Structure 1
Amino acid sequence: MTIHPRTTVPEDRIRSPYTGWTRDHWTALADRMLAALEPYRSPAGARIALPGPTSMYGTDSDGLEGFARTFLLAGFRIAGEKGADPGGLLDRYARGLAAGTDPRSPEAWPRPDRLGQAKVEAASIALVLQLTRPWLWDRLDDGVRERTVDWLATVLGQPYPRNNWVWFRIVVESFLREAGGPWSAADIQEDLDFHAAMRRPGGWLSDGEERSYDHYTGWALHLYPLLWAHLFDVTGSLCPPRLRETWAADLRDYLDDAVRLVGADGSPLLQGRSLTYRFAAAAPFWVGAVTGAGGQPPGLVRRVTGGIVRHFTDRGAPDRDGLLTLGWHHPWPAMRQSYSGSGSPYWASKGMLGLMLPAGHPVWTDTELPLPIEIADTERVLTAPGWLLSARHRDGIAVVLNHGTDHARPGDTSADSPPYARLGYSTATVPPLTADAVASPTDNTVVLLDDAGRASHRSGFEQLFARELPGGVLAAASRGPAHWVDTDADDSPDYGSGRRGPVTPGPTVTVASVLRDGVEIRLARVDAPATTGANPSWRTVRLGGWPVAADTRPDTRVTPGEPGPSAEARTASLRSGLRTLRGFDHAGITTEQGTSPLGSWTAIPWLATDGELPYGEVLAAVVLLDRGAPDVTDPALTVRPTPDGGRLITLVWPDGMRTEIDLPAAPTATG
């Protein structure tokens, strides 16, 4: 019999052959996390001031955040027990609610009309008050209820960002409606209309009007709509049946992709902002089970959610004191955005939404089913984010090759945001996230180096295509003017977008990825600037591979000469490799310290040209990320010009199959 190291609950490898977890493990984890908060709860209970860095909004905001986000976890725990509360959680949060909404209290909460972050936390409070209504709200005295309504009602008439925040206003005003407070049908309809405008193909949603595809699609934009329809009385004009049916269909389509973006080790894709929310990535799977809209077998829901949560608990999150810190497996404050405070990581509570389901629910009683990656390989085009997905059974790693996401708009000239604008993301690697990586990126890039050795950026690129070719080969391409950004003077808050500063424009760079059997062939060409005002000063092209991190320095190998230079970096569990197919003259490894939450050392292989490349020439390389699988024979490659100035590339794979892909010419220079 195996006991999980953080609990005294025995594993059940009959019912849960993949994770060993039962509902008892989930409740034990929740109870441990909630108990760990007590030393940090304020005297009146309105704030939970956890250790760690302070957000840009200050300690008052962070204390409210600690209360509201842990209130989510307490609410899910109590709802699943039908109000049973032997630990006295309801009393603790009721005391805090009374003090936080009392403007005379020294622990009074910042009001949503005076602090934007309070709008976020107000939604968590309103959601849990609705979820636990018979056991908490209905038992509060009239004065506390009146003050709570007054505090929540300060959201009315306030501006909200046009992104996932629209759901915070919907949830708060829906609770006010049911509590007899003021609300606005026009606000809710406006926000529902904007949610509809964020819908994209395949059940995906963009978090706003930019190309912003990340975990917010799941832990916010899919979570709130169906949970809102499930918990609130919004039938009729607010939420007609066809709207809920649309959301359910979107969720089913999205989850069919999302479950393939989880590695066999339970790691979610390390891509996008707010990664310190960790196992909040499990939330969309749970909302499908809670509302019955997900379309996934209960055993698969428990496998994927348990795999995600256990990925972190087995690796140090929560920590030995039962706290979630700013970081990934361990504390790593550099991972946070400016809005992240010590209470922020507790949005991970959303990943434990399933606790509201009772012990007899099939999601707890059915036998676990394997993840798709544990059954077979998956390769597919994810149209909305412009990703090519490869989830590989042989090593359990899921990767995406990115030609459609940058947290920007086409034509933007910001610096690349490392969590968004790289050419690849995986469940086993993360881009270096420190200042140098922002200013001059190396990993998963095709860049031009200027005379000072600074790397160019690609944000604002044009997506050319992402499609499946004959024989199951996937291909995607993007194009845009290379540009250099001096970010030194940019002191604006980090919300996840690229940094800004004076821009030096350069030539147009087209990059394509061809994917077969988990191996990428990366193609690139450089064309003359599209405008005569651009500065074409550059001296080489560099292609960067996958970053691999470990607590000991990775092993590296650089091989010059025929058939072309290559570079490889290895840790105990990962290999990142590049092999030249065409045009590169040099290879090397960039080794860094302190740039990744996955290890003290990071190594990134790269290939580079010798001197300025003639415009229109095609470069090509094999790009590998694996666990040290035997090498396969590289495809043969030929390039011939096309009448329109493009280049037709023919790849002949080792088994004789041929793939053709066109790298079109960039627009010619204009005055």
Structure 2
Amino acid sequence: MRLPAEDRRLSPRTGWTRAHWEAVADHLLDAVNRHWSPRCARIDLPGEPSRYGVVSDGLEGFARTFLLAGFRVAGGGDPALLERYAWGLAAGTDPHSPEAWPRPDVLGQAKVEAASIALVLQLTKRWLWDHLDDGVRERVLDWLGTVVGQPYPPINWVWFRIVVESFLREAGGKWSAEDLEQDLAVHASFRRPGGWLSDGEERAFDHYTGWALHLYPLLWTHLFDVPDSLCSQETRRTWADDLSRYLEDAVALTGADGSPLMQGRSLTYRFAAAAPFWVGALTGAAEPGLLRRAASGVLRHFVDHGALEPDGVLTLGWHGSWPPIRQAYSGPGSPYWAAKGMLGLALPADHPVWTDVERPLPVETHDFTRVIAAPGWLVSGRRADGIVTTVNHGTDHALPGDQRTDSPLYARLGYSTATMPDATDNSVVLLDSSGAASHRAGFRTLFVETLPGDVVAGASYGPVRWVDTSADHSPDHGSGRGGDIVEGPPVLVLSVVRSGVEIRFVRVDGDTDARLRLSGWPVAADLRPHAETAARPEVVVSAERLRSSLCALRGFDQAGVHTGTGTSPLGKYVATPWLATTGRVTRGDVLAAAVRLDRGRGAAANPLLTGCADEIVLRWSDGLDTRITLPNP
């Protein structure tokens, strides 16, 4: 792919302008041209099919690339990009066609793709819908109309029906005000503090907050003629205010290299993570130059790391192809929901988001810590590293008291813009006599708070368990797995974070014969990472300018490194440092360790830990004292 020359005057951080976005979009669309079905109702991309089958996957390829073509045309691209999609609409909605689409009332996945089709038909009405034959328009309305009255799961899916029925309402099809009112009420139940939205009733905080739950509401009110009886002006203001607050966190969660936080399901959508930045530009929710810098950083990150290589087709993976990233619903067309992150192309070239000078991300200007209350995250960014980390005490894709296993994508104690969650990283577990590790999903969040001196702290608590999942064959949608339970004791985990250093405290509030193991950040590389273990005990793992370390401050007498292969899209080898107790952990004892992830530049010294029992004092290298009382829930 040939890209335009960089413009460091307009875009001093990324060098990218609208011309770069257009070049990437055109490259993506050109690359799928050889995969059109004969009548253009499907884009049949190579790869292992999803659980819904190849016909559904072909519809997915059509609908998700249709998003990108629609954004491109709406922002001034060649309307000829829509020609094949017009043919596909005619064939896909014809029940007698060999390429007829599965109906949304028959196949659940078609409900998802129907929303993308309806959204682009509304966005490109004067170029496409207005020029379709009456018969084709009638068939499209009939096909879309099968969503009316259908059950939708109470997650981000409610917006798929809202979008489809809003298009039907304006295009003369059947629709249901009751459906929309019910779906809007479900969406309202997702609201959490600080502008965040949970994807359902569980503590399911991930990129769906941005690329779905903030994307659709304000795009809906912008593109459709939504009456106040359906959505009041007060609700619209609430949504706009929520987006503005959410974006303050979203830009802070973006690494200096453009990497989004690697946390949550559907990571194969990659640069869809840029979608909320463009919605913010559309609504004026944040400064345009900052939003473009964040969005361009995300897209460039994936382009620079080979996401479009070798042939321009997005495959299941992160940077390049990595099939294990799939969930049960993932197929060859799934990665093209990345098109959501290119929504900015629908904005005109003279929009301030394209003409204002880029502003730096928070991690590019200063070291910072912040608390994000809804997901229970303690966020830390260091300018010297450009890495953003989160320490997690509130997200597990579960509810308090849940008895399932931990989901690595949600329940780990840490996520970052430089590491992909692995099977053993960032956990505090009890090891039974066979070496099996316990799970803590379903914990209670005790607190997340800001303390003096740029210190943030948080704690979570709950009984651990061992789970036999051998009989659980449910599809992977991001949650943990169930099975026979062996109960364990309650465990308290408390984190104090400053200057990129987490001091992690653990207390077991019950009798057990198990040992305790604490693990740190995983380092992935194509060459085996280098590990050093000191007598303290302390362990440091490093590779390719990334360093992960653990230092025992109290209670641990073993240190080591777990090394796996083929478990991360970031490299062939993954090395994770750990600390452990040699014998069983004693009820009420407080153990502590310093947990770090950095690039080995300007790392702060570990604080001095003093105090006894549950009254702890941390003295940092600059003399600041942080006093911690471990709670007794």
Contact 2:384 2:602 in 1 (8 A): no
Q: CA deviation at 1:518?
A: 1.3
Q: Match for residue 363 of structure 1?
A: 353
Amino acid at match of 1:570: S
Report whether the alignment pairs 1:385 with 2:375.
Answer: yes
CA distance in 1 between partners of 2:488 and 2:292 (Å): 50
Q: CA deviation at 1:285?
A: 0.4
Q: Match for residue 73 of structure 2?
A: 78
Q: CA deviation at 1:366?
A: 1.6
Q: Match for residue 669 of structure 1?
A: none
Contact 1:527 1:665 in 2 (8 A): no
CA distance in 2 between partners of 1:291 and 1:90 (Å): 27
Alignment of 1:569-588 (within 5 A): 569-588=541-560
- What 5-or-longer segments of structure 1 have no aligned partner? 1-5, 530-535, 642-646, 667-671
- Give the match's secondary structure for 1:135: coil
Report whether the alignment pairs 1:107 with 2:119.
Answer: no
Report whether the alignment pairs 1:307 with 2:297.
Answer: yes
Amino acid at match of 1:548: V
- Give the match's secondary structure for 2:221: helix
Q: Match for residue 457 of structure 1?
A: 439
Q: CA deviation at 1:630?
A: 4.5
Q: Match for residue 61 of structure 1?
A: 56
Residue-by-residue CA offset, 1:207-246 (whole Å, 9 max, x unaligned):
0000000000000000000000000000321122111110
Q: Match for residue 540 of structure 1?
A: 515
Contact 1:524 1:620 in 2 (8 A): yes
CA distance in 1 between partners of 2:541 and 2:318 (Å): 23
Contact 2:615 2:629 in 1 (8 A): yes
Amino acid at match of 2:566: G
CA distance in 2 between partners of 1:591 and 1:582 (Å): 25
CA distance in 1 between partners of 2:147 and 2:302 (Å): 35
CA distance in 2 between partners of 1:11 and 1:100 (Å): 41
Amino acid at match of 2:496: V
Report whether the alignment pairs 1:245 with 2:237.
Answer: yes
Choose which of 606, 627, 633 in structure 2 pairs with 1:660: 627
How many residues are aligned here? 633
- Give the match's secondary structure for 2:453: helix
Q: CA deviation at 1:663?
A: 1.8
Q: CA deviation at 1:362?
A: 1.6
Report whether the alignment pairs 1:590 with 2:590.
Answer: no
Q: Match for residue 15 of structure 2?
A: 20
Q: Match for residue 98 of structure 1?
A: 90
CA distance in 1 between partners of 2:228 and 2:624 (Å): 56
CA distance in 2 between partners of 1:636 and 1:584 (Å): 16
CA distance in 2 between partners of 1:357 and 1:387 (Å): 33
Contact 1:550 1:598 in 2 (8 A): yes
Contact 1:300 1:370 in 2 (8 A): yes
Contact 1:616 1:665 in 2 (8 A): no
CA distance in 2 between partners of 1:348 and 1:471 (Å): 39
Contact 1:549 1:571 in 2 (8 A): yes
Residue-by-residue CA offset, 1:557-583 (whole Å, 9 max, x unaligned):
1112xxx30011000210000001000
CA distance in 1 between partners of 2:590 and 2:572 (Å): 36
Contact 1:338 1:494 in 2 (8 A): yes
Q: Match for residue 491 of structure 1?
A: 473
Choose which of 38, 44, 52 in structure 2 pairs with 1:49: 44
Choose which of 205, 213, 224 in structure 1 pairs with 2:216: 224
Contact 2:240 2:283 in 1 (8 A): no
- Give the match's secondary structure for 1:420: coil
Report whether the alignment pairs 1:518 with 2:485.
Answer: no
Q: CA deviation at 1:614?
A: 1.2
CA distance in 1 between partners of 2:3 and 2:185 (Å): 48
CA 8–213 in structure 1, closer or farther in 2 if over 3 Å, else same? closer
CA distance in 1 between partners of 2:278 and 2:185 (Å): 25
Residue-by-residue CA offset, 1:60-82 (whole Å, 9 max, x unaligned):
1100000000000000000001x
Q: CA deviation at 1:631?
A: 4.8
Residue-by-residue CA offset, 1:458-497 (whole Å, 9 max, x unaligned):
1000111000122231100001111111122221100010
Alignment of 1:418-429 (within 5 A): 418-429=408-419
CA distance in 2 between partners of 1:445 and 1:639 (Å): 25
User: What CA RMSD, in Å, does the superposition of the two structures yield over aligned residues?
Assistant: 1.1
Alignment of 1:149-298 (within 5 A): 149-292=141-284, 294=285, 296-298=286-288
Q: Match for residue 609 of structure 1?
A: 581
* Structure-2-length-normalised TM-score: 0.99
Q: Match for residue 141 of structure 1?
A: 133
Residue-by-residue CA offset, 1:334-378 (whole Å, 9 max, x unaligned):
011000000000000000000001112121122111111111122
Contact 2:368 2:499 in 1 (8 A): no
Choose which of 596, 601, 605 in structure 2 pairs with 1:624: 596
CA distance in 2 between partners of 1:237 and 1:571 (Å): 58
Q: Match for residue 533 of structure 1?
A: none
Contact 1:584 1:619 in 2 (8 A): yes
Mean CA deviation greater in 222-231 or 604-613: 604-613
- Give the match's secondary structure for 1:625: strand
Amino acid at match of 2:541: A
Q: Match for residue 344 of structure 1?
A: 334
Choose which of 506, 510, 514 in structure 1 pairs with 2:488: 506
Report whether the alignment pairs 1:331 with 2:306.
Answer: no
Contact 1:520 1:624 in 2 (8 A): yes
- Give the match's secondary structure for 2:556: coil
- Give the match's secondary structure for 1:118: helix
Q: Match for residue 460 of structure 2?
A: 478
Identity %: 66
Amino acid at match of 1:412: D
Report whether the alignment pairs 1:412 with 2:402.
Answer: yes
Contact 2:563 2:575 in 1 (8 A): yes
Q: CA deviation at 1:640?
A: 3.0
- Give the match's secondary structure for 2:409: helix
- Give the match's secondary structure for 2:592: strand
Q: Match for residue 525 of structure 2?
A: 550
CA distance in 2 between partners of 1:95 and 1:519 (Å): 57
Q: CA deviation at 1:654?
A: 2.3
Contact 1:7 1:25 in 2 (8 A): no
CA distance in 1 between partners of 2:16 and 2:619 (Å): 47
CA distance in 2 between partners of 1:153 and 1:20 (Å): 45
CA distance in 2 between partners of 1:629 and 1:542 (Å): 28
